[in-house]
Amino acid sequence: MRAMGTIRRSHYQIRQRARKGQAPGSARIAVLADLHNRVYHCDVPTLIRAIQEENCDAVLSAGDLVVMKGDLFATDQAIRLCSELARMMPVFLANGNHETRMERLHAAKYRRYEEALKESGVICLHNTCMAAVLKDLPVCIAGLELDRRYFRNKFHKDLYVEEIRERIGPGRPDRFQILLAHHPKYFPVYAKWGADLTLSGHLHGGIVRLPWLGGVISPDPELFPHYDRGLYEEGEARMIVSAGLGTHTINFRLNNPAELVIADITVEHE
pLDDT band at 5 (very low <50, low <70, confident <90, very high): low
Mean pLDDT of the chain: 88
Domain of residue 18, CATH code: 3.60.21.10
Residue 2 located in a structural domain:
no
**Alpha-carbon separation of residue 221 from 125, 141, 151, 153 (angstroms):** 27, 29, 10, 6
pLDDT in tens, 229-257: 999 999 999 999 998 887 766 667 777 78
Q: How many domains, the chain?
A: 1
Residue 4: pLDDT above 50? Answer: no
Residue 1 located in a structural domain:
no
| Average pLDDT, integer, range 26-37 | 92
Residue 103 located in a structural domain:
yes
Residue 133 located in a structural domain:
yes
Greater pLDDT, 37 or 100:
100
Residue 57 located in a structural domain:
yes
Residue 179: pLDDT above 80? Answer: yes
| Pair 136, 26: CB distance under 8 Å | yes
Domain hosting residue 11, numbered range: 7-268
Residue 99 located in a structural domain:
yes
| Average pLDDT, integer, range 41-48 | 77
Interacting residues of 74 by C-beta distance below 8 A, sequence separation 6+: 37, 38, 39, 66, 67
pLDDT in tens, 104-126: 888 898 899 999 999 999 999 99
